[in-house]
Amino acid sequence: MEDYLSYIKNVKNFSNHTIINYKSDINAYISHIDSELITEKAIKKFVIDLSKKGYSNASINRKISAIKSFDNWLYETSIVSKKKSKNIKLLKVPKTLPEVFSSSYLNRIMDELPISSNEDIRDKAIVELLYSSGLRVSELVQLNINDIGNKKSVKVLGKGKKERLIPLNKKALNSIKDWEDRSRTEIANQNEDALFVGIRGSRINDRQVRRIVLKKLGTYPHAIRHSFATHLLEGGADIRIVQELLGHEDPNTTQIYTHVSVKEMQKKYKTSHPRA
């Protein structure tokens, strides 16, 4: 288990949040079975029992994904000679559009964020950066000081350790500079390279960022990422550019934001056209 967790952290570059969930899911499966470690029959029984307990299909799918990932690793490292989860399919989940905030709402609330303390200055820089770049939380917490370039951009190490360069808007750059010049030096531990640090001076973590965004904006970071993508498309950005900015390998993943934009367009049409 420890070797597998090390693999998904250092090779697959999974976020700490995902690693914790996968470990919990695999342990839950192992404690449930009373036979060989992984078998198709045991996995199906596990899924059925979870369903009877009232778990949603989305929650069950995460556990299936964890088991399949572990099973694949066991096979690839020759610990087992055959993949036992190959025929296990994910359950159907109703497609839901991501939560998206209006640009006017986000602009207003971010402009009103306080900057009266070191933590306030840091929190504003985090929020501005998330909306300016569409970063995942796992990508934001990994940023170091030298990742903010002189060319008004941020260098990001995404999933699969794929590097990408994302331009930043002026407000985000000013907020980050304010944090670095006024507050970070007072909080950060000596020799700490992290761009954002917690009150103890060490690198901030995923959970802290989620708390900050919830406190400041009343939502979670994924909603800011969704809003970032949707607003770009509504502004005329090519979907391939948005795909690259978000770090999506599969263009179909980005496609959902076009549906959000169409929905918004229909809403505006109904409220604007005199005969709608």
Domains and CATH numbers, the chain: 2-76 (1.10.150.130), 103-270 (1.10.443.10)
Q: Quick one: pLDDT at residue 95? A: 67
Q: What six digits make up the tokens of 165?
A: 């360069």
**pLDDT reported for residue 16:** 80
- For every one of its 276 residues, what pLDDT tens digit does the chain have, with 9 covering 90 and above? 899 999 998 888 787 888 899 999 999 998 887 666 788 888 999 999 999 999 889 899 999 999 999 999 999 999 988 999 999 999 987 766 667 888 888 999 999 999 999 999 999 999 999 999 999 998 999 999 999 877 788 988 877 677 888 999 999 999 999 999 989 999 999 999 999 999 899 999 999 999 999 999 988 899 999 899 888 888 888 888 888 888 887 777 777 777 666 666 566 657 665 655
Q: What is the pLDDT of residue 247?
A: 86
Predicted TM-score (pTM) of this structure:
0.67
The predicted pLDDT at position 36 comes to 60
Give me the pLDDT at residue 97, please. Answer: 60
Sign of CA dihedral 126, 152, 242, 92: negative
Structure-token pair, residue 192: 């700490």
Nearest to 26 by CA among 10, 13, 7, 11: 7
Query: What pLDDT is attached to residue 88?
Result: 92
Q: State the pLDDT at residue 96.
A: 65
Predicted local distance difference test score (pLDDT) of residue 268: 60
State phi, psi for 156 to the nearest 5 degrees: -120, 140
* The token pair that represents 180 in the structure block: 């670095």
Q: Is 170 exposed, middle or buried (0-12, 13-18, 19+ CB in 10 A)?
A: exposed
- Active-site residues: which are they? 136, 159, 222, 225, 248, 257
